[in-house]
Amino acid sequence: MNPPNDNYSACHGLWREHPVLVQLLGLSPLLAVTTTLANALGLGLVTLIVLLGSSVSCSLLRRQLNGALHLPMLLLIIAAWVTCAELLVRAYAYPLAQALGIFVPLIASNCVILNRAQTIATRHPIGTAALDATVIGSGFLALLLIVGAIRELFGRGSLFADMHLIFGDIARDWLWQPFDGDYTLLILSMPAGAFLLLGFLIALKNFLDSWLLPSSESPPEKPIAGSKRVRTTGKIN
């Protein structure tokens, strides 16, 4: 049995241990679906719900989820939530399901979810697990929205395109096109541009960190038990 980790603090997930900006997890959905704000919002919300569902179930079942087979069990639970989410999106928001395509089922392979299940949900009571999932999911959603907004605005010269996929017909005239005519900046529409943009956002975050938290005052690093990540942009353990 893994002992609860008392060092845990949920709000770190929004900044200091942001799943993407610091841990570089979940990059593929970030790069692939953020061509518009609407897609980013859709995928971010579905991911948040899947993360919440899987964290709560992993926490509820945490006494069973250990031993040599804990990984397949976690994957089963996550895949189940993803399948449920996909069925519901297809049933109640079919056009959104079409727009997001393969990226809804691929949420199952988003490492952020497995990472939270392994490091937090299976080691903490349900309240903590739910809080953690909400915070991490919101941090992920927020970053998707930022990247989606920048890519849509400067890549395609529009904002709020396709919002009717999520909000229904009233959203059809939310579309805002500040630049004239055929403005497009191809690189931002492509995954490579998203990758560059993400790099700039990470640099910005690191700059803000060094500016807001002079190194002498930076809080002591708290290790995350069980974390084996080596590819990070900051010190998480």
Partner 1 sequence: MTVKTAPNRSQWLRLLGIALLIGTLVTTLEILTRERIVASQTSAALDYLRQVTGPDDQGAAITFENWPIPNRQLGLLGLSEGDEMHIALRAGQPIAAIVPSISNAGYGGAIQLLVGIDFTGRIIAVRVISHRETVGLGDKIEIAKSDWIEAFSKRSLSDPAAKYWAVKADGGIYDQFTGATITPRAVVNQVAATLQFFADERAALAARGTSQANPEARE
Task: List residues near partner 1 by CB under 8 A.
Answer: 2, 35, 61, 64, 66-70, 72-73, 76-77, 80, 83-84, 87-88, 90-92, 94-95, 98, 155-156, 184, 186, 189-190, 226
Which is closer to partner 1, CB of 2 or CB of 206?
A: 2
Min CB(233)–partner 1 separation in Å: 27
Of 88 and 212, CB closest to partner 1: 88
In the complex, the smallest distance separating the C-beta of residue 150 from partner 1, rounded to whole angstroms, is: 15
Nearest to 97 by CA among 107, 106, 87: 87
C-beta closer to partner 1: residue 138 or 184? 184
Residue 67, Cα to own-chain centre: how many angstroms?
Answer: 28
Least spacing, CB of residue 124 vs partner 1, in Å: 16
Q: Which residue, 92 or 211, is less far from partner 1 as judged by CB? A: 92
Q: What is the DSSP letter of 230?
A: -
Q: What distance in Å separates the CA atoms of residue 220 and residue 180, rounded to the nearest whole number? A: 51
Helix runs in the chain, H state only: 27-33, 37-60, 70-92, 94-100, 111-119, 126-151, 164-167, 186-189, 191-212
